[in-house]
Structure formats: C-alpha cells, structure tokens
Amino acid sequence: MRDAEAGLKSLIPEAEVFEHNPKRLHISIPRERLTEAAKYLHRERGMRLATCTGIDTRAGLEVLYHFSEDKTGTMYTLRVLAPKDDPRLESQASWFPATDWIEREMHELLGIDFPGHPNLVPLLTSDTDWDREKYPLRRDYERRNEAHER
Amino acid sequence: MKDPRIWGLKKSPWVYHLAAASCNNCDIEVLELLTPRYDVERFGIVLVGSPRHADALLVTGVINRKSLPRVLEVYEQTPKPCLVIGVGTCTCNNHIFLNSYNAVGPYDKYLPVNAYVPGCPPKPEAMILGVVKALSKL
Amino acid sequence: MSDRHVVPIGPYHPLQEEPEFFKLIVEGETVVDLEINLGYNHRGHEFISPELTYDQIPFLVERICGICSNSHPLACVLALEDICGVKPAPRGAYVRTIIHELERIHSHLLWVGLAGHFIGYNTVWMWAWRYREHILEVFEMITGNRNHYAANKVGGARRDILPEQIPQILAALGVAEKKTLLLTKAVLDDPVIRARLERVGVLTREQAVAYSVVGPTARASGVDIDVRRDDPHDAYADLKWNVPVLPEGDVFAKAKVRLLETLESISIIRQCLGRMPEGPIQVRVEEIPAGEGIGRTEAPRGEVFHYLRSDGSNRPLRHKIRAPSYMNIASNVVAVRGGSIADAALTLAAVDPCYCCTERLAAFEDGKLKLTGRDLLRLSWAKTERLRERMP
Amino acid sequence: MTTLAGWQLVLAFLIFPGVVFTSFVGLTLTWVDRFVSARVQWRKGPPFYQPFADMLKLLLKQTVVPAGASKVTFLGAPMIGFAAMCVTAVLLFYVNFFPHGSFVGDLIVLVYLFALPPLSTILGASASRNPLSAVGASREMTLYLGYELPFLLALVVPIIHTHGAIRLGDLVLAQRTAGPFLYSWSGLIAAVIVLVCIQAKLGYPPFDIAEAEQEIMSGVLIEYSGAPLALFRLTKAMMFFLMPCFLVTVFWGGLTSFWAIPELLAVVVLVILIKNTNPRFKIDHALRFFWFILGALGIIAVILAFGGL
C-alpha cells in the first residue's frame, strides 16, 4: 500500500484502486472530487501530469488524468466519468497551467465542456472550415473511407 | 536553343519551400540539400525567401484544413510559369493519413503538380533527381 | 510580360510566411506576451489508429515527428507490451535501445546546428549537420532508411544488428564523439555564445513544474526526471549512465544538457554493443487481451506518452499520443516574456520543436506586423555581432 | 579636345562602356562572388553562366504587380537605377580615356549618380504597398544616410591633394604624374572608407540589413518578380563592377594604367572576403559605426591631407 495511494484513499474514501501492475495504478473517483484529488497528487505528492485521455464509452465520456510519480516511476491514473447528456468537468487550468492545452483539445475533439477554463478556444482544428458540432473522437463520428471513394 | 524562356528556367530554378502539415522529415531533407554534401547550388538551385522570387515550389506534407487556404494563396502569389514539385509520399497520395478528418487531400487536388518524389523521407539524391526530371519535362 | 493584379488578403501580408505559429506581442524592444497558434501540423493520428491493426500502428505513429521517429513507435510498443504483460526478447531489447540512443545523437546534433544558425554561426550549422550524416549512414545500414526506421515490434525488434555492422557503428560513434566534444568545447568556451545564451529565456524550476515540462527543457531547470532511469524499459535497467541536470534554466543550460546527453548516449551504445546477448530478437505475441496499457520513453525532447485501450480484437479502442513538445512549447509563454526581441527566436528554438515550427515566427506591435521571422533572425545575429565587439 | 559625335555617343552609351559591356562584366563578377563564397563553405558553387541564366529567366517571367501598388512607380523604380548606372559607366570610362574632355564638377555628378540605385530601391519598396518591404525601405534609407557622410569626407581628400580640382580629369592626370593618391597616408585611409561604403552601397553583408537573410533582394524587393526584379539585380551587378572602377580611378591611378586590371580584381576580392567573414550589423549599430568610426577616420584623413601627407 503506497503512501500516495493511502493518502488518496483517506482523502476520498469512495475511490476504488485497481493495480494493473506494480507501476500502473488506476484510481476511479467521482466527478466532483476531481479537483481535490488532482491538487493532492500534484501539490502534496509533487507528481507531474503526463496528459489527459478522453474516451467515448457506452457508460459516458471517461477522462483519465495520468499523473507520474517520477521518483518511483509509477503512473497514477485518475479515472472520472461524465455522463453523455451532461459532458462537463471542472477545469484545472486555472491552478495548473499544464492542463490548459489538453482541456482545450478535449473540448474541441470530444465535446467535453470545462467551465472555469481561462480561454476555451479551439486549439488544433481549422479556424475557417470546421463544424463545431461534430466531434471526431466520438464513436458516432462518421468515418469516410477515402480509399473506396476514389 | 528551343524557347529561351525554358532554357532560363532550366538553368536557374529558384526554389521556395512550402510545408503544410508535414512531419518535418522531408523539410529537414530539403535543408540537407544545401549542406556541403549535396550542394544544389551547382545546378543553380537557390532557396529563396519569398514565393514572388520562386520558380519552383517544393511542397511537403499532406495539406490539413487549416493550412489549405494559405497554400492556395502562396501558389497564387508565385509568378507563372512555375513548377510544383511534391516531396515525400504525403504529397503523392496522402500516405497513411488518407482517412484522417483533417487531411484534405494531396496537392494535385488543388495545384497542378509537375513531379512527385515518393519516399518517406525521399533521399536527398532522389529529390535532386525529382527537380531535374521536372525541369527536363518542361 | 503580362501584368496581373493580385489582391493582398489580410492585415499582414500572407505572402512572406504562413500565419504565425508564434505571435510575439512586443512593446518597443521587449516581448510582452506570446500567442501560440497551433494546428498547422494536426493530422488526427488518434482518429486513424483505431482503424489500423496493432501491427500497422507503429508505422502510423512513426510519422508523427520526422526527427524523433523512433520514440513514438517504441512508446506504442511498450504500451502494447504493458497490456499483455510480456517482456521483449533480451537481444531485441538491446537492439531497440541502441537505435533509440542513436536517434538521440542525430537529433541533438541537428538542434546544435539550428541553434548555431539562430545566433549567426552558420558554419556551426553546416558543421553539425555534416557530421550528423555519419549517424544517418549508420541508420541506413542497420534499418534501411535515414529516418522512419520501423525498428520496433511488439515483443522485440524488427531487424537485427549483425556482428559485421558493429565496426562501422563504432567508427561512426568515434567520429560523433570527437566532433561533439569539439562542439561542446566550442559552444561552452566561446565567450560570445556564452554571453549570448546565458540568462536568456529563463524557465524557473517552479514554472517547469507548473507547466509539467519534460526532457532537456526540464533537466535544464533543475527538474531531475528521465524516463529511462525512473521507469526503465528494454535494456536501460542494467546500464549505467548519469543524467545531466542544471539549475539555471536558461538557453545555455539547455544547450549544455543536450551536448552532455549526446556524450552519455554514445557511452550507452558502447555498453550495449559490448554486452549484446545472443538469441532471437523477438518474442512471439499471439494476441492482445482486453485491457489498458501505458508506454513511456525518453525521446530526444522529453517523455513521449502513449496510452492504449484494447477490447480483445486486433484493433485498439482508443490510442492517446502526447508528444514531448506539447508540454514544452506551452512553457514558451513564460520563458519568452520580458526578454528582448533579438533573443525571441532563440528562446523559442531552445525547447527544440521541429524545424518547421520555429520557421513561422513574427513580432507584432499594437496589431501591426513589425518584424518577420527573417527580421528576428537577423536581429539575433546582429546581437551576436555586438557582443563579439565588446569581447576583449 | 575630342568630343564624341552623335552616333559615337549612342554607340558608347549602348555598347562599349555602357549597357552591354558593363552588365557583362558585372554579371561575370557576380559569378566570381558566388563561386568564391561557395568555395569558402566547401561547396562546388554554380557554373559560370549562372548569373546570365538568372537574368534571362527573370526577364522572361511573368511580372506580378500587387493591387493597390502605384503601377507607374512600381515598374519605373528599377529603370532609374539602371539608367544611372549606364550613364556612370559612360562618364567614368570617358574620363579615363580622354582626361581633358571631362567637365568641371563631374566628380560631384558621379557621386549623385551612385546615389540613384539605393534611392530607386527605396522608391520601389515603398511603392509595393507591403509592410515588409516598407520596413526594408526605411532601413535602406537609414543605411544610406549612414554611409553618405564618410563617403563624401573620403572624396574630399584627393581634391585637397590636387589643390581644389573638382574635375575627375585633373585627378587622373595628377595621379599619372605624381603617382596614385593611395600611396599617401590620407589617401590610404580615404580609400579604406570608400571600400567600406561600397560594401554598404551594394548591400552586401555585413550591411545587408534591408534584405532578408541569405536570399538576395528579398526583404526590400519582396514584391518584385520578372523583369523589374531582373533590372534591380542587373543594376546591382553593374554597381559591383563600377564601384571598384570608381575607387581605382580616384585613388589608384586611373583605369588606363598598366596595373588597372589587377587593381580592380584586388578590390573585388576584398569586397567578397569582407562579405563572407562577417555576420550582419543591426541597423542602429551600423549607423553608429558609419557616423562615428568612419566619420572620425574621414576627418583624420582630411587633416592629414591638409598637412600634405
């Protein structure tokens, strides 16, 4: 039972920890406790945010915050679920600049809203011809196979 | 001497390097053409800083939505007759990014491309051959 | 001579360069703010990879960046091995490590050349790139291509390094070491370069941690992280090398860290060549079970992060890719603020983004285009010239 | 006193010292410059006909005039510089071969003629309605103001040597009798100043501030293409030949002396070497360099000249 893991469990009792292997831990926490957990891992434990992954699953929009504890080389992944009908997550960009770009990317490619983000403008997609309602990384995005068209 | 215009273009092709959504490998290889080992200046090929002075556009990368309007603008600014030489497989057929939502197709959908230099990245010798072949086709 | 009228579009003239990747907001000589305009290279890798099978994905991710085209496939393959819990074949692990370190050498030599170009030493550029050709020749011999080596496979390496190739590798390493030592001496002892790079584009340790920067950018700001040592994969567990970390955080520290790292890489490769185990270079992996996997490796610019989620079929459900420059470039906003325009081009190049990104650069003063990318370069050279005047 | 008849003048203007001869020699010297520069970087360098091929190609390419740019000045600007260079060529050679035929004050006329090409560049750049070339034009003006002062100061020295002769013919004659001015202290300093001013007038490094990076004619003349661009480059090539001729005429004993050709080549090689060994100056730094360092040198040279050295 690593102390970071113990500290997190004491902070958020309802967190379930799944140990994929000694260096990869996945911790599922409710959506509301995200900021608390992230602040604990970054500020108290001094972990570095590798990146965040947004996945469109049947259960809803799942977002993984990958924190890396560089001293021991272990990866702590916070797993948060936002329901499809209300894709909203608290933005960490105000206190943690590293999440600024990745939240903007998830916003434009997956349609997750991040209230509290300083400037939630598109990061990667074109400024001229891009349909803001369509999210490419969602499962329902229609895939055109150019190979057959030609 | 056939048409002197063509002779002039053949003997001093000024090249402008246009990169739209490329992985920069072809761009580095294009730059390597200037280094002592390949030195394209012996053919009169000079890398110029503005499309206005260019005779040949060395294009790389698969155009993505954001860089398409800029690519067309640069092509329009280049005085004709000008060559378009695609460097790398991305410019031939969109390569591995064929089904990407952001790649809007190889150059020949928008510009008349005179020569393709396949290869990922093509060797500098292949690029020189590409430019020479494009010129000889004139 | 037919005259044709062309209507220029937009406030700035798009003719000279494409819209700026970095837009410096300046007041007089000092840079006040930086607007970063991404998206010109976005090709949607994460969208394409679920359509490909696990064998095809390394070829896709290789084309993310031309200069570190071995780090992405390696991280992706490590993620797959993380899902299946498989260890690569010992000899394959050593081959992968050798190619990974060789790429670091050629990437750092490339950056040293570009940095020289940015401060006006074009001979350093021609010189560094000339000796880089030796490494590219070695790559061509081992893997068949100058870049995009396709060297990694789930469970090991795709091609073996034959015993008769080793003498040429050692010869190329010898040249690389001699020249890197020369470059290190030339860069570290040249008073003008020191005056030009020291205290320029400083990224403090707190800022480095806040922006979670990785690689040489972090190590030059006193953050001691290196994925090869913290989360060792392949042959790194049983190799010995030291990780250069400097506290200053300025461009000079970043140059020094990169040069010292190149020398470390050369010694790593020599250690690997010395103790290459015999045996097959890959382990047969039948199928990828359902699950999640994280693959990380230390690319020349920092930690490359790949996350894969599989559902038991031969295609991934989700593939997250994060290149090191994604975090480093974001830190430029803080690094360039307050500096002079002449140093701007250099500071932005210090995080070593690929060549294309540093090309598109311009300075604006209250909305009006003031200096183009070329002007900023020339300002940078002129400053070098001025410093050389003042040198004794 | 031989004066050229009408048709001889036209012939002189078009063929011998004028357009054809000067541009031919100018382009060949440009090739020498590119070849030596390439060799300095271990490169093979372009073939000998490269500048001619560039000229031919540019002349026949399409000219694009940006909308909104004042068409007349945009296309007219390069012609001013070109015409000035042709007249200079005729005047310079005429004076050297018939020193008695030169008129009073032709030295001043030459100085003005040499000032026209930079002015035509500035005119062209500001006419092309592009923020980048406007920035380039303002820098070219600053640079011009910079080197004009020491340039004039340096020309005062030979005048003092010949006790107030404004006529170029007298200068040539004086040098034929009393030996070139270069061998006197003041003459040497003045020659060095003129050499540096030539470097700046040609826009070669370390003074190519108005042009972008390595490319020739890109910052200031970013909008130009086709024939106008060819005219600008041809003017520059002719200047690359005529400026050393001017230096040799005024300081090194005229063009007719036996040593004229080697002297010319020496000056050209010097210009190329300076070009290849110096990174660029920043505009205000260059201005300070011209006014204070070269200006001071000029005053010293004038004082020495008065002292008869």
Task: State pLDDT tens for residues D150-191.
Answer: 888 888 888 888 777 778 778 778 777 777 777 777 888 888
Q: Report the distance separating Cα C178 and Cα C161, nearest Å.
A: 24
Domain positions in chain D: 9-306
Chain-centroid distance of CA A85 in Å reads 17
- Chains in touch with B (3+ beta-carbon pairs under 8 Å) read A, C, D
- Residues near D11 by Cβ (< 8 Å), separated by ≥ 6? none
- A124 neighbourhood in chain B, CB within 8 Å: 102
How many Cβ pairs within 8 Å bridge chains A and B?
27
Query: Token pair of D54, please?
Result: 């560039």
At D3 the pLDDT is 65
Query: Token pair of C348, please?
Result: 């932005």
Contact B73 C14 (CB under 8 A): yes
Of A127, A136, A147, the CB nearest to B101: A136
Contact C39 B28 (CB under 8 A): no
Considering Cα of D173, then D176, then D182, then D187, what sign does the dihedral take? negative
Query: Token pair of C385, please?
Result: 């010239």
Contact D135 C4 (CB under 8 A): no
**If contacts are CB pairs under 8 Å, which of residues 8-67 in chain B contact chain A?**
64-66
Which residues partner with A74 through β-bridges? Answer: A69
- D65 neighbourhood in chain C, CB within 8 Å: 3-6
**What pairing do the DSSP bridges indicate for beta strands C361-365 and C22-27?**
parallel
DSSP D135-187: HHHHHHHHHHHHHHHHHHHHHHHHHHHTTS---HHHHHHHHHHH--GGGSHHH
Contact B99 A141 (CB under 8 A): no
At D24 the pLDDT is 87
**Could you report the per-residue pLDDT of D77-95, keeping only the tens digit for each?**
888 888 888 888 888 888 8
In degrees, rounded to 5, the angle at the alpha carbon of residue D241 between the alpha carbons of residues D240 and D243 is 75
Confirm if C320 and A53 have CB atoms less than 8 A apart: yes
Question: Residue C204: which CATH number?
Answer: 1.10.645.10
Q: Is C378 buried (19+), middle (13-18) or exposed (0-12) by CB count in 10 A?
A: buried
Edge-to-edge, what's the strand order for the sheet holding B46-47?
A: B46-47, B14-19, B56-60, B83-87, B115-117
Of B65, B94, B105, the CB nearest to A130: B65
Q: Report the distance separating Cα C54 and Cα C341, nearest Å.
A: 47
Give the length of chain B: 138
3-state secondary structure of C265: helix
Of A125, A129, A146, the CB nearest to B99: A146
Query: Token pair of B24, please?
Result: 């920069």
Supply φ then ψ for residue C352, to 5 degrees.
60, 50
Question: Helix H segments across D19-101?
Answer: 19-40, 50-60, 71-97
At C78 the pLDDT is 92
At C376 the pLDDT is 65
At C63 the pLDDT is 85
Q: Tell me what ipTM this predicted complex has.
A: 0.73
Contact C6 D282 (CB under 8 A): no
Range of the domain at C261: 5-350
Of B21, B26, B50, the CB nearest to C43: B21
Query: Token pair of C217, please?
Result: 């950018």
In a domain, C317, yes or no: yes
Contact D50 B53 (CB under 8 A): no
- What residue ranges define each of the domains in chain B, with the CATH number in brackets? 4-136 (3.40.50.12280)
Q: Does the structure show a pLDDT above 50 at A97?
A: yes
At D38 the pLDDT is 78
What is the percentage of chain B residues whose pLDDT exceeds 90? Answer: 0
At D282 the pLDDT is 61
Other Cβ atoms less than 10 A from the Cβ of C88: the count is: 26
For residue D142, give how far its alpha carbon lies from the nearest alpha carbon of chain B (Å). 23
In a domain, C376, yes or no: no
At D251 the pLDDT is 81
Is there an interface between D and A (3+ Cβ pairs < 8 A)?
no
**Could you report the per-residue pLDDT of D92-146, keeping only the tens digit for each?**
888 877 777 777 778 888 888 888 888 888 888 888 777 667 767 777 788 888 8
- A145 neighbourhood in chain B, CB within 8 Å: 99
Tell me the pTM: 0.79
Other Cβ atoms less than 10 A from the Cβ of C122: the count is: 15
Contact of A147 with chain B, judged by CB distance below 8 Å, is answered with: yes
Written as tens digits, the pLDDT of chain C (392 aa) is 333 222 222 222 222 333 346 677 777 667 787 777 777 777 888 888 888 888 888 888 888 887 888 899 999 999 999 998 888 999 999 999 999 999 999 999 888 887 777 776 767 777 788 888 889 889 989 988 888 888 888 888 988 899 899 999 999 999 999 988 988 887 778 777 777 788 888 899 999 998 889 999 999 999 999 999 888 888 888 889 899 999 988 888 998 999 999 999 999 999 999 988 998 988 888 888 898 999 999 999 889 999 999 988 888 988 988 888 888 888 888 888 887 776 777 787 777 776 444 444 455 554 455 555 556 666 677 777 777 776 65
Of C42, C214, C320, the CB nearest to A53: C320
Matching CATH number, A3-140, of 3.30.365.10, 3.10.450.30, 3.80.30.20, 3.30.460.80: 3.30.460.80
Closest-CA residue in chain C for A102? C326
Confirm if C62 and C45 have CB atoms less than 8 A apart: no
Other Cβ atoms less than 10 A from the Cβ of C253: the count is: 25
Confirm if C330 and C211 have CB atoms less than 8 A apart: yes
In a domain, C355, yes or no: no
DSSP chain B: ---HHHHHHHH--EEEEEESS--SHHHHHHHHTTSTTT-GGGGT-EE-SSGGG-SEEEEES--BTTTHHHHHHHHHHSPSS-EEEEESHHHHH-GGGTT-SSB---GGGTS---EEE-SSSPPHHHHHHHHHHHHHH-
Of A53, A68, A72, the CB nearest to C318: A53
Contact C44 B52 (CB under 8 A): no
With residues binned 3-state (H G I as helix, E B as strand, rest as coil), the percentages for chain C, rounded to 5, are 50, 15, 35
- C381 neighbourhood in chain D, CB within 8 Å: 279-280
- A136 neighbourhood in chain C, CB within 8 Å: 44, 47
Number of domains in chain C: 1
- Residue with token string 């003031």: C370
Query: Token pair of C162, please?
Result: 């034959």
User: Sorting pLDDT into bands at 50, 70 and 90, what band is D54?
Assistant: confident
At D35 the pLDDT is 85
In a domain, C378, yes or no: no
Q: Residue type at B28?
A: I
Which of A128, A146, A149, A150 to mutate to probe the B interface, most B CBs <10 Å? A146
Type and span of the H or E element at A68: strand A60-69
Q: DSSP state, C282?
A: B
Q: Is C162 buried (19+), middle (13-18) or exposed (0-12) by CB count in 10 A?
A: exposed
Q: Report the distance separating Cα C377 and Cα C383, nearest Å.
A: 10
Contact of C32 with chain A, judged by CB distance below 8 Å, is answered with: no
Q: Report the distance separating Cα B109 and Cα D14, nearest Å.
A: 50
Q: Report the distance separating Cα C111 and Cα C102, nearest Å.
A: 15
Q: Report the distance separating Cα A119 and Cα A96, nearest Å.
A: 14
Which residues partner with C27 through β-bridges? Answer: C30
Q: Does the structure show a pLDDT above 60 at D214?
A: no
Q: Is C389 buried (19+), middle (13-18) or exposed (0-12) by CB count in 10 A?
A: exposed
